Amino acid sequence: MSNEEREALLAEVENAMRLSTVRGIFFHQAVAQRAGMTASDLNCVNILVAEGPLTAGQLAVRVGLTRGGAITSALDRLEKAGYVVRERDPADRRQVLIRHTDAVIARLEPLLTGFLTQWTEIATSRTDHELRVLLDYFQRSNEAVGSAIAALQER
């Protein structure tokens, strides 16, 4: 591959990534709206589903709700809707952990089914090697975005 062809390919990948990010944001907003929650509330749920129970402080850092009572407001809304529960940490009774409920999974699952079916078809059509390359790419991209967010928040 020539340098020009490689540069063109890198530009295509960059544009595809940019478009994927924008569409991901729009999809996320549409799911949140249909589920009757804010995008920040859905971010909280997604983090809890992915990582398991967290303290309010840990969750706030992961979703960027570190100022004021934003995380408390989000958790109050989610708890009122039956989507999260606050429980004492069995390992340290002084701490309270936030856990997602089966009710939020039941609410979100029908909204995600069509997308997840298509995504599964795309993913399962890839070889193990291709999946490892994709996994590496996404893990590194997520780290880069995390660093970029941290740098922007420091300013």
CA 125 – CA 131 distance, rounded (Å): 10
pLDDT digits (tens), the chain, 155 positions: 899 999 999 999 999 999 999 999 999 999 999 999 999 999 999 999 999 999 999 999 888 887 668 899 999 999 999 999 999 988 888 899 999 999 999 999 999 999 999 999 999 999 999 999 999 999 999 899 888 888 887 76
Enter the tokens of residue 95. Answer: 């701490």
Q: What angle do CA 55, 112, 106 make, to 5 degrees?
A: 60
Q: Which class for 121: exposed (0-12), middle (13-18), buried (19 or more C-beta within 10 A)?
A: exposed
